[in-house]
Structure 1
Amino acid sequence: MYHAQPLPRQVDVAALLHRENAVSAYDICLRFEEFVSTEQDTERIISARILGYLLLHPSSHGSLSEIVKEIHSCSEDYDALHNLGQAFLNYFIRAFRKYQGRTPFTSDHLSRPSFDQQRLLPKASIKEAPKNHSTAKAQALLRDGYRCAVTGAYDTLAQDMLNDELADPQVWLVDTECAHIVPESTYFNVNTDNSQEASSKKDYVASVLTVLSRFGYDVDKLNGPKVHSLYNVMTLEHNVHNRFDRLQLWLEETMEQDMANCYRVTAVRSGFTPMMRERVMFTTPDPERLPLPSPQLLALHAACAKVANLSGAADYLDKLDRELETTDVLACDGGAAEVLNHAIASLAGRGINAGA
């Protein structure tokens, strides 16, 4: 269902858009897509579809209003619309999507030895919100019952708690990781040096935060160390975590009565883990000190994943990742410009340092 495909015709989606100005904005996207399709311009086709699918899958009413306003500001200027679509590709989709190349995106996804040597974190020891990765992982494990939220598998640190349950073949032990809904790199404070690299990172982060704030999210809630707050993290098994970060898996709130904090697990492809559950219900033993993952942030991630896959942006970036990984020397005739631009954009959004 969530594979690259043309925008649905307006008659099929009018009921989803509700507002007249949203329908007219969608009509602009349809005409833009039709025009660039005749030129077989992949980048512009993706731009048109990103804008259209952002209208069909907004993360909130506020984000829908913002997209409508931005599209109408471009009118029928297809160059301006292309630039707008590329901005959302670079500062929304790239910001949520983990770069997959020969250089690891970040070491933070790996289990931290300092935490692995700890025993189970006493609930009474929780005095403040986590301010670093390892503390966030410890508190998220406690809140999530030492289990992967999506598969239900237990973390290996919980084996002392299980006792007789380990004899049950349905009980799995895995290495879990602390998964950030909004990636840490998006909110990390940039070094204050004046190098060109630091300057480009500052510009990139500023652009990402501008997009998210226009979508109606208070970016200050996760600035700096607050990115490790429990409403931005959950416990996931390694393979599930990787697919969540790659926008291949997301959680959609069911909105069913008497089913608060219940989410439907959606994946681009099934079969990557035999234990993936259809639904996830988050609970906490202490709502005040161990808050649940934010529905707003999960909705933001889900919207990004759906738009990335439906528009073809995810496949496009995957293709560039593969080309970059296998390319040792870029051609000097301009034929590798697309891969080079991808490399520069990928570097701009990673390696940002927030300190401990």
Structure 2
Amino acid sequence: MSPSARSSHLRSMLIKRDGDKCVVTGAPNLVHTAHSPGPVRETFIQAAHILRRSIIHNHPGSHIAGTLDIIKHYTKLPTSVIDDMTRMIDQPENGMLLTQELHGLFDNYAWCLHPTHVLHEYTIHWLCDMPVGFENFMDVRFHDCSQSGIHLPNPTLIALHAAVAHVLNLSSAADIIDKVSDQFLDEGPTVPSGNRASREDTLLGCSPIELTTASHQLPTNHYGEAATHTFVRPIY
């Protein structure tokens, strides 16, 4: 299947699962919604990858071409996990519907999702100044509107996006790198201290986040049953 066909299929699946609206703001898709004045602002909705295809296929010149290298080098994830990421890159578990503005900011790691203690429920964490108008949109809860068993976003992929976002923004990077590595391999720190962010960098921005997982396997169903529950948890 060509990349364009895969993207079209992914968008179709996400429209069904997410109800053809932004998972953050709840704004319906202007393309498919008859105009009717009301309190909910209609907008153009886009299918966003949690981990972008260019991360896996690493196109030269891409401003995020090194993201997979960050994941591989700093977390030293098992090859099986990287292979699962490749398999799921154009699947519903690696996507969600967002407004055009939120999509661009997410792709540029300006914000990420931090999990709560409820599976598939997250809080939004901004790594830049929050744009005006988003103060009331701080929580995201994923569910399958189609009720047909379409996979929900994979917690491991969301956690990896969050970890990369913090690394790229030098916000608690050393803590995140160690936590990811320790949980997957139990080998202790993976990066020599000279290559880590400084203590000053570590204190920038926000509290550390912890990546926790019960095994090396990615979740295999949209309820997260009998699968790894991987999540990023703020440490206060």
TM-score by length of 1: 0.41
Which has the larger Rg?
A: 1
Q: Which residue of 2 aligns with 1:148?
A: 22
Q: Which structure 1 residue ranges, 4+ long, deviate > 6 Å from structure 2?
A: 203-206
By relative contact order (CA 8 Å, sep 6+), the higher-ranking structure is 1
Residue aligning to 1:266:
125
Q: Report what 1:181 is aligned to.
A: 50
Pairs within 5 Å for 1:221-232: 221-223=84-86, 226-232=88-94
Measured against aligned partners, the alpha-carbon deviations of 1:94-143 in whole angstroms (never above 9, x if no partner) come to: xxxxxxxxxxxxxx9xxx9xxxxxxxxxxxxxxxxxx6111111111111
Consecutive unaligned residues in structure 2, runs of 5 or more:
174-236
In the aligned structure 1, how far is the partner of 2:162 from the partner of 2:141? 16
**In the TM superposition, what whole-angstrom CA distance separates every residue of 1:303-344 from its partner, at most 9, and x where no partner exists?**
22223223599xxxxxxxxxxxxxxxxxxxxxxxxxxxxxxx
Q: In the superposition, relative to structure 1, how do residues 277 and 219 fare at CA in structure 2: closer, same or farther (>3 Å)? A: same
Match of 1:220?
Answer: 83
- 2:155 counterpart residue number: 295
SS of residue matched to 2:122: strand
**Aligned equivalents of 1:233 and 1:307: distance in 2?**
21
Q: CA deviation at 1:301?
A: 1.0
Q: What's the counterpart of residue 245 of structure 1?
A: 107
Q: What SS does the corresponding residue of 2:123 show, helix, strand or coil?
A: strand
Q: What CA distance in whole angstroms lies between the structure 1 residues aligned with 2:172 and 2:51?
A: 21
Alignment partner of 1:228: what SS? coil
Task: Go from structure 1 to structure 2 and tell me whether the alpha carbon gap of 1:135 and 1:155 turns closer, same or farther (over 3 Å shift).
Answer: same
Residues 213 and 219, structure 1, Cα contact 8 Å, conserved in 2: no
Q: Secondary structure at the match of 1:159?
A: coil
Higher share in helix = 1
Given that residues 151 and 275 in structure 1 are in contact (C-alpha distance below 8 angstroms), is that contact kept between their aligned partners in structure 2?
no
RMSD: 3.4
Give the alignment partner of residue 37 of structure 2, picking from 160, 167, 183. Answer: 167
Distance 2:124 2:85 in 1: 24
Aligned AA for 2:37?
A
- Unpaired segments of 5 or more residues in structure 1? 1-107, 113-130, 191-196, 314-356
Structure 1 residues 133 and 273, CA, compared in 2 at 3 Å: closer, same or farther?
Answer: farther
Richer in strand (by share)? 2
Q: CA deviation at 1:208?
A: 5.8
DSSP-derived class of the 1:154 partner: coil
Q: How does 1:1-356 map to 2 (within 5 A)?
A: 132-160=6-34, 166-168=36-38, 170-188=39-57, 207=69, 210-211=72-73, 214-216=76-78, 218-223=81-86, 226-255=88-117, 259-267=118-126, 268-274=128-134, 277-285=137-145, 289-311=149-171
- The whole-number CA distance in structure 2 between the counterparts of 1:260 and 1:184 is 25
Letter in 2 for 1:309: N
The number of aligned residues is 166
